[in-house]
Structure 1
């Protein structure tokens, strides 16, 4: 509830807490959300007052409580009556996740069958030594891809955990200081970065958010102008997960290196797609994730420069050079290294192929759907990401229309979750969310021109019906 109030700029009062507590308890008890009449009977808050308290009335109440439904006139609009080919499925959501590729699945099957051992890497037994070697070889492999040393790579449970470790691990060094310190980040970061710095703000750190330009890119000059004598960290993502824009990391890193300020980069969307060399780029901390590069979920990594002394976020044993306690997830670690090696081997070829596919997608879009807009820069972007605004269309209705035809994409808002909050990224670039419904199309290794043709054999009619 505190997180949602911060995101929407609402100051929580006792009235808010009373309504939210009742709604949560009602849903837990009855399995259905309370309607206005039930809320008024239990809390004394009538409908006009509730809609004044919350940005989207009862829809916000449900979303803030985590109730995954919406009711009545606030429900999603009707979907289009367009049917896809029976049994055909098309996955166009590769920015959200990617399916583990065959080579990765085979390696994991070998490990989890016991063929490669089952030892604890922290054990002094022969089995433990064999597991330690598997982890160390994976560490060396990933380090080699980014011109780093093995001791610079820390394995985590996800990219989000890596971001949390990087940001909080730096900030914790300043906890005893009365003034704490100043942190700079951008308005279009991943929630794991945004929420981490908001958390630190509640602990007394001063936070500055740099707005993007209208095309979704970040101006290095704006970051430099925000620097202060007490700035302890700057965070900026390499490639945006929602609109695909690429941040000029090398320019920012060079400026921050001269200023001697640590630079943390969320490279989850860029790793395996763009050449990355943190040392050369002036980057102090850089996060990665396995499931974005056709590896398994539940595994990530963090590059930590030798100049940085991170305070652990997870305490316990001395694993990961004392920076992250917990027995290593050996099978997923070696799978991450395998996926990373394959992605880097194919990087240039896949970039060129997806660039051509991206252009073909936009040609088909502009030829068949009038008035669409592409969010973010058309040049400084990763080619597998396309954030498209459709005029006069409800994003949730179009998302469900595509889903009913077996086509998976992502939306800027999740109708089925009860949330009507505008994406913070779209809000930051001043996208017109009142006239345009935004969907994100994520191209991948398996996507072909024939897939794009199939999409556009259905999409224009769906948009026509929903506009009507």
Structure 2
């Protein structure tokens, strides 16, 4: 194994050194409970939380009092959907989402259906984009929530968030977006984009695992998530993980500081990888929108082969990638996202997602292309499906 390339940054990222240093002091120096504000150790912990809150708020163009810290993106998604549903059930019982959401949204909607709520799951086109007219048509008098992810975790497609927000606002409907993959990769402005609720996670942007956040616009009616003490202004009880929250704030600070350079670099590497695969490997399908996609996302389906086989051979060559979202990579079922875009089961099974970081070089990209070329060629030589196709076309094997 000549290289070790981590190309699965959509699953999680390396914690940045600056973030680790920021967190360290809250393990062994300022370890007080932030609720114990009568002495210095508690005050220092409280200050760290409020500093992080301001860092996140500034990055989203939000007010500090609209930011709440959670245990991660899945918790934030659950809180947004359940909290709005139960708090507004006197107004209606209808939720609109899409077929390509993260399971934290889809399974939560399924759960709510047991309590009398109804969900419309919008179709997407071959690029994973929703149709805004179909969204408008799905709205009913009893619609209380629209939840549509900002950018897809598998295929990288970025939705027209501002237009969705405008539609929701015009109809007096609360708009939530899962921005776990988008944070740090696109410019988010919750005011301009008419976003009422936004989920985020630290470990996707070089922060620690186990901490995330939610933006809740002032005035949005939503149930409290965890009952107990008065933490997070009474909405989410439990002693705060100060070191994780401080790390989240630092990761956001770095993302804002390096944003333009970071996006330009990732986009350059992404396009190099896309072009390299298209040029060197036949019978491939680029999944996701060709331009309206995350700057670090490359997702292809390779016909006649299985994604699991590709991953095993990539690992032998030192390359870490994914055959779907991180939460479902152990499943043998085809990706629900790829099926929603219209791919058949066989093609969907042969999908691989590469997600790039700024640590990757042009040489790494070229190595990945060459490795993929060899792997796909090897697997297709053994593929009964590919060989049958060649026989039907009259090609020699």
Q: Same fold (TM over 0.5)?
A: yes
State whether residues 413 and 422 of structure 1, in contact with CA within 8 Å, keep that contact through their aligned partners in structure 2: no
Aligned with residue 430 of structure 1, among 342, 350, 353: 342
Q: Which secondary structure does the structure 2 equivalent of 1:279 belong to?
A: coil
SS at match of 2:145: strand
The superposition leaves residues 38-68 of structure 1 with CA deviations (integer Å, 9 ceiling, x where unpaired) of xxxxxxxxxxxxxxxxxxxxxxxxxxxxxxx
Q: Determine the structure 2 residue equivalent to 1:35.
A: none
Flag the 1:356–1:418 CA change in 2: closer, same or farther, 3 A.
Answer: closer
Give the 3-state SS of the residue equivalent to 1:95 in structure 2: coil
Cα separation, partners in 2 of 1:417 and 1:440, compared to 1, 3 Å = closer
Say yes or no: does 1:90 pair with 2:2.
no
CA distance in 2, matches of 1:445, 1:435: 30
1:380 to 287, 292, 296: 292
- 1:363 deviates by 2.1
Determine if contact 1:413/1:420 at 8 Å carries over to the other structure. no
| 1:124 correspondence with 2:37 | yes
Alignment match, 1:159: 73
Native 8 Å contact 1:155 1:299 kept in 2: yes
Give, in angstroms, the shift of residue 219 of structure 1: 1.8
1:215 shift after superposition: 1.1
Distance 1:221 1:107, change over 3 A: same
Task: Report how far residue 268 of structure 1 moved.
Answer: 0.7
Q: Tell me if structure 2 keeps the 8 A contact 1:290–1:296.
A: yes
Q: Displacement of 1:455 after TM fit? A: 1.3
Structure 2 CA distance for aligned equivalents of residues 159 and 313 of structure 1: 14
In the aligned structure 1, how far is the partner of 2:325 from the partner of 2:208? 26
Contact 2:94–2:119, Cα closer than 8 Å, also in 1:
yes
> Please, what is the CA RMSD of the aligned residues?
1.6
Moved more, 390-399 or 215-224: 215-224
Contact 2:155 2:353 in 1 (8 A): yes
Q: Confirm or deny: 8 A CA contact 2:157 2:289 kept in the other structure.
A: yes
Q: Report the equivalent of 1:23.
A: none
1:140 maps onto 2:54 in alignment: yes
Shift of 1:180: 5.3
- Cα gap change, 1:370 to 1:320, in 2 (>3 Å): same
> For residue 278 of structure 2, what is the aligned residue in structure 1?
366
CA distance in 1 between counterparts of 2:26 and 2:364 reads 34
Q: CA deviation at 1:216?
A: 0.7
2:124 aligned counterpart, secondary structure: coil
1:205: Cα distance to partner?
0.2
**Are residues 307 and 413 of structure 1, via their aligned partners in 2, closer, same or farther at CA, if it must alter by over 3 Å?**
closer
User: Does the 8 Å contact 1:92/1:409 carry over to 2?
Assistant: yes
Superposed counterparts of 1:298-447, under 5 Å: 298-412=210-324, 419-435=331-347, 437-447=350-360
TM-score of the two chains, using structure 1 as the length reference = 0.78
1:251 CA displacement: 0.5
Q: Tell me by how many angstroms 1:110 deviates.
A: 2.5
- Equivalent residue pairs, number: 378
Q: Give 1:227 deviation, angstroms.
A: 0.5
Within the candidate set 442, 452, 458, 2:371 is matched to: 458
- For 1:303 and 1:292, the matched residues in 2 are separated by 17
| Cα deviations by residue, 1:429-457 (Å, 9 ceiling, x for unpaired) | 01133145000000112111111112123
Are 2:69 and 2:212, in contact at CA under 8 Å, matched by a contact in 1?
yes
> 1:141 offset after TM fit, Å?
1.5
Question: Which secondary structure does the structure 2 equivalent of 1:171 belong to?
Answer: helix
Structure 1 counterpart SS, 2:230: coil
Write out aligned runs for 1:2-401 (5 A). Answer: 84-85=1-2, 88-114=3-29, 117-126=30-39, 127-174=41-88, 177=90, 181-401=93-313
Give the drift of 1:354: 1.4
Distance 1:226 1:304 in 2: 24
State the Cα distance separating 1:192 from its structure 2 match: 0.5
Q: State the TM-score, normalizing by the size of structure 2.
A: 0.92
Q: CA deviation at 1:408?
A: 0.3
Specify every segment of 5 or more residues in structure 2 that has no aligned partner in the other structure, as ranges: 382-397
Classify the secondary structure of the residue corresponding to 2:300: strand
**Is the contact between residue 396 and residue 413 of structure 1 (CA under 8 Å) also seen in structure 2?**
no
Tell me which stretches of 4 or more aligned residues in structure 1 moved more than 6 Å: none
CA offset at residue 148 of structure 1?
1.0
Q: Which residue of 1 aligns with 2:384?
A: none
- Cα distance in 2, alignment partners of residues 379 and 137 from structure 1: 36
- Secondary structure at 2:21's aligned position in 1? helix
